[in-house]
Amino acid sequence: MKPSILIVDDEPLTRNLLRLMLERAGFDTSEAEDGLKALLMMAEQSPDVLLLDVMMPNMDGLTVCEKLRAQPETAVLPIILLSARTSPEAVRAGLDAGATKYLSKPINRKELINTIHEVLQNIPAA
């Protein structure tokens, strides 16, 4: 079975680009345009990895990350934050919110795919 990835980004072009990269690499994808929709989708499906933009309307990625980490069902879900904010403070805030990895935009396809494979291999056994 193909690993599934929920892509959360408020930019339609970014979601489309990420979806194309991931589907070509053999992943199943679904998409949400903001943090609120992502949380609703998480209640209905269980993706293997969450690819999450930091800066979004309605609910930012850091808040989504914190909310998911507070729930037993999603406490160990691999969450990869994507952001144009790359300062050490921004990265630290993302990791402190519970992100598994923090990658900078624009994202390199190879780096993204390698990071997803890495986090999938490191999921703790239930």
Identify the structural domains of the chain with CATH numbers, from first to last: 4-121 (3.40.50.2300)
15-63 pLDDT per residue, tens: 999 999 999 999 999 999 999 999 999 989 899 999 999 999 999 999 9
Dihedral sign for Cα 101, 107, 111, 113, please.
positive
Here the tokens at position 122 are 């490191």
* Cα 27 to Cα 50: distance, rounded to the nearest angstrom: 12
Task: Give me the residue label for tokens 């949380």.
Answer: 39
Q: What phi, psi does 17 have (nearest 5°)?
A: -60, -45
Q: What phi, psi does 97 have (nearest 5°)?
A: -75, -15
Considering just the CA atoms, what is the radius of gyration of the chain in Å? Answer: 13
62-107 pLDDT per residue, tens: 999 999 999 999 999 999 999 999 999 999 999 999 999 999 999 9
pTM, two decimal places? 0.94
